[in-house]
Amino acid sequence: MDTIQIELKKKTIHSAYNQVKMLNHLDFPNFQKGEPLYNLVMEIKRSIKRQRKQDKLGWRELLEFWPLSIVIPSMLILILLGSGGIFD
């Protein structure tokens, strides 16, 4: 198992992120790039950004559903109505 899903309060992760960034700027060795705590906080931040980006792309579901709901029935109706004019 490579991933774990947990629920965190926004305030908790926000304060942890701010603390890690502050200690990183102060050049504390435990909070530099490559250290486990730094990597953990940055991975959580990337995961949150990825989830937000996926939530914003809800309109793609409409585009996947749109051809089946509007275009195909209208094309069938046009074919049926149009073919009557050709054979008359």
Beta carbons within 8 Å of 33's beta carbon, 6+ residues apart: 24
**pLDDT tens for each residue of 32-65:** 788 778 888 888 888 888 887 776 666 666 666 6
Would you say residue 20 has pLDDT above 70? yes
Q: What is the mean pLDDT of residues 23-29?
A: 84
Q: Cα(44)–Cα(65) distance, rounded to whole angstroms?
A: 32
pTM value > 0.75: no
- Extents of the domains making up the chain: 9-57, 60-88
